[in-house]
Amino acid sequence: MEHTDFKTEELIQSRKARKFNLWLGMIGMFMMFAALSSGFIVYTASGVDKGIKTLLPDTFVYSTAVIVLSSLTLHLAYRAVKHESLDRQKLFLLLTLALGIVFFFLQVQAWSVLTGRGIYFINNNASQSFIYIFTGLHLAHILAGLIVLVRCLLGALKPIPYVDNQFRMNLATIFWHFLDLLWIYIYVFLLLNQ
Amino acid sequence: MSSTVISHGAAHHDAHDHHHETFLTKYIFSQDHKMIAKQFLITGIVMAVFAMLLSILFRIQLAWPEEDFPILEVFLGKWAEGGRIKPDFFLSLVTIHGTMMVFFVLTAGLSGTFSNLLIPYQLGARDMASPLMNMLSYWFFFAACVIMVASFFVESGPAAAGWTIYPPLSAVPTAIAGSGLGMTLWLVSMTLFIASQVLGGVNYISTVLNMRTKGMDLWKMPLTIWAFFLTAIVGLLSFPVLVSAVVLLFFDRTVGTSFYLSDLVVQGQILPNEGGSPILFQHLFWFLGHPEVYIVVMPALGLTSEVISTNSRKPIFGYHAMVYSLVGITVLSFIVWGHHMFVTGMNPFLGGVFMITTLIIAVPSAVKAFNYIATLWRGNIRFTPAMMFAIGMVSFFVSGGLTGLYLGNAALDINLHDTYFVVAHFHLVMGSASIFGMLCGVYHWYPKMFGRMMDTKLGYLHFWLTFVGAYLVFFPMHFMGIDGVPRRYYTFTAFPFMDKWISVNMLITWAAIIAGLAQVAFLWNFFSSIWRGKRAPQNPWNANTLEWTTPVEHIHGNWPGEIPTVYRWPYDYSKPGHDTDFIPQHIPFSETMSSNLPHDFEGNEEAIRIQNEWNKQNNREVIEG
């Protein structure tokens, strides 16, 4: 929420602080996935019958490509804001949103590939259940990210004042890149354990 | 930042405010840190009273296991049929008492109240980094409280697996009544609570690092702020881990995954779950759970530091040591969780590692205890109610902390694990100590919160009854524990070796009832003083920190004009050469020429030169440059 009655200096300070909030929030989110990772390692080490015991679906390769691409388009959208080009910003934001949604569906698609192989969430080898937990919780964050992007798009359509638009886009970009990196971390972690 | 801009901003600020503030935005969905602090405090107090009543209920069962109290049936219905509390409900009482006290009272009620109140005030900020997140933090907490209380109104009763909700008991809904809907509500409530804590904690850290006023460098911050800051860091790193644990538990309960479950037969039925590990939950839980006890005690330590220094009229002894010991506790808190799990079949080598890290925590803790005592030493002590509670806090911290050395030893813990010794230990060191820290904060900052003073005599009555009561309740439990009496047992008469302890249980229960009644003195004092207390002066305790430079009447933005600049640390009490026994942080050295010391100038040669000129003119010793 903006406090429009703050003076410039205090506004800058408060913006800086809120951007910092986002970084802290991302640390918190990362801790959650770190805990799951260590849980996975401890669980998987508990017996030879544990572990992923399958190759991760190729769909993950496509979804990784899609989310990396979406980071790129969002970067371009943010550059457009800096160059005060509202049309390009809208275009690239829409593209990012579309790619985000595609990513979402690809992840769900990967689940159906897994279930097709008989690897279900309800599983006596919980290492395999962990795949669903990792991807599912990440998707929950992607949903939040999509809401953030929609809010940016609404801001650009209205359009809100330039500095607000830029600040909003700045935060959204950081968050989306974080989600991108988080997925790459999860994917690499799972690949190393497959 | 130029001060004229701030001043302009604040004036501007006020003018706008009065236009669009309704009852709803001022008292309910407030984004003002002072109002949110009061919301946290009052919700915390309500939860504390509720949780205390629960403890009185199970204490009655422990003291008189064979007697009927028909009045209980009037209030509790089928949970106390014939006037005797049922075993299932007994377990629920213990569980919810622990959960509410640890999380709702001593985490949200303590950190939430005082971080919100004091971080912007003592750092010289107009509000938190994100007032919206701050408001959300309170409302998530409130929703968590409502859901937890609501679990008393479901047929199967509230959660009953203990506040640590170990699976498989908590993970199998059919295991006991309390593992049904009550447990689900517990998990929902806790998830909301974690969201609240993360939102709040992020804000506290960010405000401390970004919103300090001019001159307020980290080493000029009051110890309260250091404590809240480090507490928030601990919370931010540990609470998300509990989310992971809870998510896995949730799926084990609802859809039938096997993260924690394996080889179970419940009521003659073989469960399909295979391969899970209940120990995994304990690791995840205690990775939060142990830092959590420091989340509970560190704000109390911070508040106590401030109150003891102010009321001893002396600088806090070893300011830097106090900060470093807090940092030490923060770091160590993350590498000791295994000491809760010595009896899980842990590798003895690993147990040894956890034992060493645990015992090392005694060092920073002892530093704090000795520094408090050294601060009191030859001070000009003012025994205000806040000061009494602060000293009481130190007393509990020491007597409860010492037994931590026993429990931290794996060899001794195997014997003492899950006995009343543990109950005695943590109720003294984190329960009583933190509650006393919190009450000390309430008495001390009440004038800042409500603009009125609390009654001193009622404060003393409250203190002595609570202090003596708490020791009478928890001290005898050590002996029960050494004798091997396990915690959470429902009837002492059912086991011949525990029979002899019933007389002690009666003493404990009477002490608990009297200490519980003593809280009426506090509640009356607290709520009636809001309207009828003596009007507070601006700086009732002659303290140095910035919150006492704000007007008594709360205004949005805290300071009517520009935010004061800070020139000195917050502990310039009884500085030789000065005419009063305190020098607030915003007084520049140029106004205190008669009391300045060489180290005040931190090597600033120009300032030393000016001081020396003044010293020569006034026949004072010249400072060595």
List CB contacts (< 8 A) between A43 and chain B.
259, 277, 280
Q: Of A8, A28, A124, which has the smallest distance from its Cβ to B236's Cβ?
A: A28
> Quick one: pLDDT at residue B603?
83
Cα B202 from chain centroid (whole Å) = 17
Q: Is B2 a residue whose pLDDT tops 70?
A: no
Instruction: Find the helix packing angle between B223-254 and A126-157, rounded to 10°.
Output: 120
pLDDT band at B625; cut points 50, 70, 90: low
What digits encode the pLDDT tens for the residues B441-485?
999 999 999 999 999 999 999 999 999 999 999 999 999 999 999
CA angle B584, B587, B589 (to 5 degrees): 120
Q: How far is CA B153 from CA B81, B150, B181, B535, in A?
A: 17, 5, 10, 42
Q: Distance from B562 to chain A by nearest Cα, in Å? A: 12
Task: Mark yes or no for CB contact B130/A18 under 8 Å.
Answer: yes
- For residue A34, the chain B residue with the least C-alpha distance is B241
Q: Of B206, B255, B256, which has the smallest distance from its Cβ to A20's Cβ?
A: B206
Average pLDDT over residues B317-338: 96
- For residue B234, the chain A residue with the least C-alpha distance is A28
Q: Which residues contact A157 (CB under 8 A, 6 or more apart)?
A: A90
Give the domain range for residue B445: 3-12+28-310+317-532
Residue B576 lies in a domain: no
Q: Is B149 a residue whose pLDDT tops 80?
A: yes
Instruction: Return the H-helix or E-strand segment holding B265.
Output: strand B265-266
For residue B324, give the CATH number of its domain.
1.20.210.10
Task: Mark yes or no for CB contact A43/B277 under 8 Å.
Answer: yes
Contact by Cβ (8 Å): B379, B341: no
List CB contacts (< 8 A) between A14 and chain B.
129, 211
> Quick one: pLDDT at residue A6?
54
Task: Mark yes or no for CB contact B240/A31 under 8 Å.
Answer: yes
> Quick one: pLDDT at residue B35?
95
Task: Mark yes or no for CB contact B9/A125 under 8 Å.
Answer: no
Most A CBs within 10 Å, among B13, B33, B259, to test the A interface: B259
Could you give phi then psi for residue B452, rounded to 5 degrees? -135, 165
| B3/B498 Cα distance (integer angstroms) | 69
Which CATH entry fits the domain spanning A28-38+56-193: 1.20.120.80, 2.40.10.340, 3.40.640.10, 3.30.70.360?
1.20.120.80
Domain chopping of chain A, boundaries? 28-38+56-193
Strand-strand pairing, B265-266 and B269-270: antiparallel
> Quick one: pLDDT at residue A1?
41
What digits encode the pLDDT tens for the residues A172-194?
999 999 999 999 999 999 999 88
Instruction: Return the H-helix or E-strand segment holding B605.
Output: helix B605-617
Q: Is B19 a residue whose pLDDT tops 50?
A: no
B198 near A CB under 8 A: yes
Task: Mark yes or no for CB contact B275/A25 under 8 Å.
Answer: no
List CB contacts (< 8 A) between B134 and chain A.
none
Task: Mark yes or no for CB contact B284/A9 under 8 Å.
Answer: no
Q: Which of A87-91, B441-445, B602-606 has the highest mean pLDDT?
A: B441-445
Tally the domains of chain B: 1
Instruction: Return the H-helix or E-strand segment holding A102.
Output: helix A86-116
Contact by Cβ (8 Å): B75, B54: no
pTM: 0.93
pLDDT band at B401; cut points 50, 70, 90: very high
Q: Is A144 a residue whose pLDDT tops 80?
A: yes
Residue B540 lies in a domain: no
Q: Of A5, A35, A129, which has the smallest distance from its Cβ to B241's Cβ?
A: A35
List CB contacts (< 8 A) between A29 and chain B.
240
> Quick one: pLDDT at residue A7?
67
Q: Distance from A65 to chain B by nearest Cα, in Å? A: 27
Average pLDDT over residues B416-434: 96
**DSSP line for B391-418:** HHHHHHHHHHHHHHHHHHSHHHHHHHTT
What digits encode the pLDDT tens for the residues B279-320?
999 999 999 899 999 999 999 999 999 999 999 999 999 999
pLDDT band at A2; cut points 50, 70, 90: very low
> Quick one: pLDDT at residue B5?
36
Q: Distance from A88 to chain B by nearest Cα, in Å? A: 31
Q: Which two tokens stand for residue B213?
A: 């006023």
What is the average pLDDT score of chain B?
93
What digits encode the pLDDT tens for the residues B503-520?
999 999 999 999 999 999
List CB contacts (< 8 A) between A50 and chain B.
275
Q: Is A154 a residue whose pLDDT tops 90?
A: yes
- For residue B249, the chain A residue with the least C-alpha distance is A133
pLDDT band at A70; cut points 50, 70, 90: very high
> Quick one: pLDDT at residue B496?
93
| B463/B456 Cα distance (integer angstroms) | 10
Task: Mark yes or no for CB contact B274/A124 under 8 Å.
Answer: yes
Q: Which two tokens stand for residue B612?
A: 């020396």
Task: Mark yes or no for CB contact A16/B273 under 8 Å.
Answer: no
What digits encode the pLDDT tens for the residues A41-67?
999 988 888 999 899 999 999 999 999
> Quick one: pLDDT at residue B20?
67
List CB contacts (< 8 A) between A41 and chain B.
none
| B380/A120 Cα distance (integer angstroms) | 70
> Quick one: pLDDT at residue A184?
97
Q: How far is CA B558 from CA A65, B127, B206, B554, in A?
A: 50, 8, 19, 7
Contact by Cβ (8 Å): B337, B283: yes
Instruction: Find the helix packing angle between B433-450 and B278-312, rounded to 10°.
Output: 50
Average pLDDT over residues A13-38: 92
Q: Distance from A36 to chain B by nearest Cα, in Å? A: 6
Q: Distance from B129 to chain A by nearest Cα, in Å? A: 5
Average pLDDT over residues B517-540: 97
Q: Is A76 a residue whose pLDDT tops 70?
A: yes
> Quick one: pLDDT at residue B249?
96
Q: Is B8 a residue whose pLDDT tops 50?
A: no
| A115/A121 Cα distance (integer angstroms) | 8
Task: Mark yes or no for CB contact B209/A20 under 8 Å.
Answer: yes
pLDDT band at B181; cut points 50, 70, 90: very high
| A158/B289 Cα distance (integer angstroms) | 47
